[in-house]
Amino acid sequence: MSLISVRNLSKTFSYNEKEPGIKGSAANLFRRKKVYKEAVKAVSFAIEKGEIVGFLGPNGAGKTTTLKMLSGILYPSGGTADVAGFVPWERKNEYKRLFSFVAGQKSQLWPDLPAMESFRLNRHIYEVSEADFNARIHRLTELFGVRELLKIQIRRLSLGERMKMELIASLIHNPQILFLDEPTIGLDVVSQQNIRDLLRSYVVENRTTVILTSHYMRDIEELCPRVIIINRGEKIYDGALSDVRSINGGQRLIRLTFSREIERSELERYGAIVNFNGLSAELEISGEAKNAAAALLESLPILDIGIGEIPIEKSIALLFTGENAHE
């Protein structure tokens, strides 16, 4: 049986629409127009223990709403979910001890207190023994490289250091499941890589099940063999990340550097020009890349040539537009 099983999960929000200005406010007192928005529409999926699954979609697709339902923060409008034998929105204490929800844009730590104070508060909330708490804090602070920062106020730490503290706070009770909502948002490239490396080490060591949302494709490519993609509240893809590239029909990207400046028209017959400045270019080509490369080398003054994959973001963008959607 899957650790997380979701069937036809849906969430509809209602709100009142108001015309602008004083006249609109006065009219709203007597006659309100109620508007409904389907944030999540009959989404179904299953996740096994120890899986790391990327949960992707554009802004407003329903990703965070789905995670909030699975964590019991929101009550669904329809459908069912079973997470480790619990119904999330029943909010049983035994279930709350099984997971952690980490959002990159929201903090669970007190900014004016050192991280250690918040960690101790979490110890009492989750009823972790003193011995287990000390052992986990020692292991996690060593793993995350922040032992010397435990007595410093949170607001005085860098964004990357604060994110590490947020993750440690979420792991004190040794959760089986991690819901990670944009954990690297706003971080610089080095901090993002550090967070990814730390998460990978922890998850592999503890066989933790992870659902990760992120707009940084490097997070997904490095951590998630499988992705679930939703758009406008509906699931449009569920499968291996590696298979997403096939949506582009086997296209390849050829990067070219020329020994002299050439005209754009000299390149157009070989493929779709992605970038061009006269001395270098990027081409998207279909078919055998080696044949296209041979033709380019024969006819153009090429100094250097490289062949690579089409960025995976393009394949995902095709899914967002409704092309080639499948499970």
Domain assignment present for residue 134? The answer is yes
Q: How many CB atoms lie within 10 A of CB 270?
A: 19
130 lies in the same domain as 78: yes
The amino acid at residue 273 is I
What one-character-per-residue DSSP string does 186-254 give? T--HHHHHHHHHHHHHHHHHHT-EEEEE-S-HHHHHHH-SEEEEEETTEEEEEEEHHHHGGGGTT-EEE
161 lies in the same domain as 296: no
Residue 308 has pLDDT above 80, yes or no: no
Residue 92, pLDDT score = 93
199 lies in the same domain as 87: yes
Tokens of 256: 């070219």
User: What are the pLDDT digits (tens) for 272-285?
Assistant: 888 889 899 888 88
42 lies in the same domain as 163: yes
Q: How many CB atoms lie within 10 A of CB 300?
A: 18
259 lies in the same domain as 240: no
Q: At what angle do helices 159-171 and 115-125 cross, to 10 degrees?
A: 20
Number of domains in the chain: 2
Name the β-bridge partners of 272. Answer: 284
Instruction: Give the largest Cα separation in the chain, rounded.
Output: 76
CATH number at residue 263: 3.30.70
- The three-state secondary structure class of 37 is strand
Higher per-residue pLDDT: 286 or 55: 55
Domain assignment present for residue 218? The answer is yes
Domain assignment present for residue 76? The answer is yes
Pick the closest to residue 316 from 63, 55, 68 (CA basis): 55
- The three-state secondary structure class of 31 is coil
pTM comes to 0.78
- The three-state secondary structure class of 183 is coil
171 lies in the same domain as 291: no
Domain assignment present for residue 321? The answer is no
Tokens of 230: 């939703």
Q: What is the mean pLDDT of residues 14-35?
A: 76
Domain assignment present for residue 327? The answer is no
d(CA 11, CA 106): 22
191 lies in the same domain as 288: no
- The three-state secondary structure class of 71 is coil
Residue 128 has pLDDT above 60, yes or no: yes
Contacts of 150 (CB under 8 A, 6+ apart): 114, 115, 116, 119, 141
144 lies in the same domain as 282: no
Radius of gyration from C-alpha coordinates of the chain? 25
CATH number at residue 104: 3.40.50.300
42 lies in the same domain as 100: yes
Domain that holds residue 300: 251-309
Q: In the structure, what pLDDT confidence band is assigned to residue 172 with cuts at 50, 70 and 90?
A: very high
85 lies in the same domain as 107: yes
User: What are the pLDDT digits (tens) for 258-267?
Assistant: 988 988 888 8
Q: What is the mean pLDDT of residues 95-108?
A: 88
- The three-state secondary structure class of 129 is coil
Residue 15 has pLDDT above 50, yes or no: yes
Higher per-residue pLDDT: 30 or 140: 140
Domain assignment present for residue 49? The answer is yes
296 lies in the same domain as 173: no
Tokens of 206: 């503890």
Residue 98, pLDDT score = 94
d(CA 8, CA 78): 7
123 lies in the same domain as 14: yes
d(CA 151, CA 168): 14
